[in-house]
Chain A
Amino acid sequence: LHNDLLTEPARFSPPFAAFAVAAPAFGICNAPIPYSVADVIAVQPTPDPDFAAPLNSAGALSLCRFSPDFIDPRLKSPYVEEWNLTLQSEVARDWVLEVGYVGNEGHRISFGQDPNHNPASPDPQQCESSESKPFVGVLPQYKHEFLVQRRNGSDQAPFHSRILGALSTLIGETALR
Chain B
Amino acid sequence: LNFTDNVFNFRDTLIRSSGRHGLKFGLEYNEDLETGDFGAVTRGFYEFFSLADFVADSPYLQELQIDPSTGQNILSSPNRLRHFRRRDFAWFIQDDWKVRKNLTINAGLRHEYFGVLTETNGKQAGVILGPGTTFRDQFVNARFGPLKQMYEPYWKNFAPSIGLAWDPTGSGMFSVRTGFAIN
Binding site for B on A (CB under 8 A): 1, 4-5, 11-16, 32-33, 36-37, 40-41, 43-48, 50-54, 65, 68, 70-77, 79-90, 115, 136
Q: How far in angstroms is the closest Cβ of chain B from A62?
A: 10
The interface residues of chain B lying within 8 Å CB-to-CB of A83 are 178-181
B130 at the interface (CB under 8 A from A): yes
Asked if residues B143 and A88 are in contact (CB atoms below 8 Å), the reply is no
User: Quick one: which of B113-163 are within 8 Å of A by CB?
Assistant: 114, 125-130, 134-136, 139-146, 150-152, 154, 157, 159
A110 CA / B19 CA spacing, docked (Å): 44
B180 contacts which chain A residues (CB < 8 A)?
Answer: 81-83
Nearest-CB residue, chain A, relative to B151: A75
Given A44-B72, A65-B60, A77-B114, the answer on whether A51 and B146 have CB atoms closer than 8 Å is: yes
Can you sample 24 A-B contacts with CB below 8 Å?
A1-B136, A4-B140, A13-B142, A13-B143, A14-B143, A33-B59, A37-B59, A47-B69, A50-B145, A53-B144, A65-B60, A81-B182, A82-B179, A82-B181, A83-B180, A84-B177, A85-B178, A86-B178, A88-B174, A88-B175, A88-B176, A88-B177, A90-B174, A115-B135
Cross-chain contact B182 with A12 (CB below 8 angstroms): no
| Residues of B near any A CB (own CB < 8 A) | 43-44, 46, 57-62, 64, 66, 68-72, 112, 114, 125-130, 134-136, 139-146, 150-152, 154, 157, 159, 173-183
Cβ-defined contact, B151 with A47, below 8 A: no
